[in-house]
Amino acid sequence: MVTTVIHNNQSYTIDLSKPLDLSIPLRASKENVNAWYINEPTIEPVTDGEWIGKVSKGASTNFNTITFNPHGHGTHTECVGHITSEFYSINDALTHFFFIAEIISIQPEQKGKDTIITKNHIIEALTTSTPEALIIRTLPNIEHKRNKHYSNTNWPYLTEEAATYIKELQVKHLLIDLPSVDKEKDDGKLIAHKAFWGYPNAIRHHATITELIYVNDHIADGTYFLNLQIAPFVNDASPSKPIVYKIISG
């Protein structure tokens, strides 16, 4: 369904019948994507004595309890409450859900034992200076990202300069296909998180970071209309479902 939407006083034509899903679904399986040294998520029926909350076991409904960690088990969106002693909820931080976004692909570079995404990478890949949301696809873009176990892999990360530059562009929402914008083991410094959120001196409370997305190869780099959907968790982070739409005109 082709429709015209008005965003920030500008009209855009998009086709709502062709959503491009950037999320990784959560599964109760060792094949589920995983990070931060935790076990796989579980989805199990409630039991009460001999009663099992499963239709195939005689119940009238399926009645499952799901145990998972939003940061380690799939696509999730987080607010500054992820790194503060004060409590901030993603459900309060993210109150608008549609944004103009740019997808860029970056081949991180080797620096010693690390692999980094630099300010120059961002500058060279961007085609617009004012995206509300920036979506980073790292290369190589292997299908295995959907079920990779990232613990102890020293994944690529953003340098402080790169994160600061993204903030200075006034990007409100940063999305990336890695478990974190920061180095896996950085002694708790969380330099890129802090730089992007302006922590602690000029905190951007409504800015968000979305991690563990997957941008399929058939989705070209460029400008899109982003719908960033979260579950209404009163928590620093929530599982999320970022959807992008090609902009036909606007």
pLDDT of 21 reads 98
Amino acid 249: pLDDT: 85
- Burial (CB < 10 A; 0-12, 13-18, 19+), residue 87, is exposed
> What tens digit of pLDDT does each residue of 64-77 get?
999 999 999 999 99
Q: Is residue 157 part of a domain?
A: yes
Is 166 a domain residue? yes
On whether residue 60 sits in a domain, the answer given is no
Provide the whole-model pTM. Answer: 0.97
CA of 2: how far to CAs of 16, 55, 115, 148, 244, in Å?
Answer: 6, 40, 41, 36, 14
Instruction: Give residue 188's domain range.
Output: 2-25+71-249
CATH of the domain at 138: 3.50.30.50
Residue 44 lies in a domain: no
Query: Is 133 inside any structural domain?
Result: yes
Residue 55 falls inside a structural domain: no
In tens, the pLDDT along 166-204 reads 999 999 999 999 999 999 999 999 999 999 999 999 999
Residue 124 domain-assigned? yes
> How many separate domains does the chain show?
1
In a domain, 127, yes or no: yes
What are the φ/ψ torsions at residue 57 (nearest 5 degrees)? Answer: -105, 10
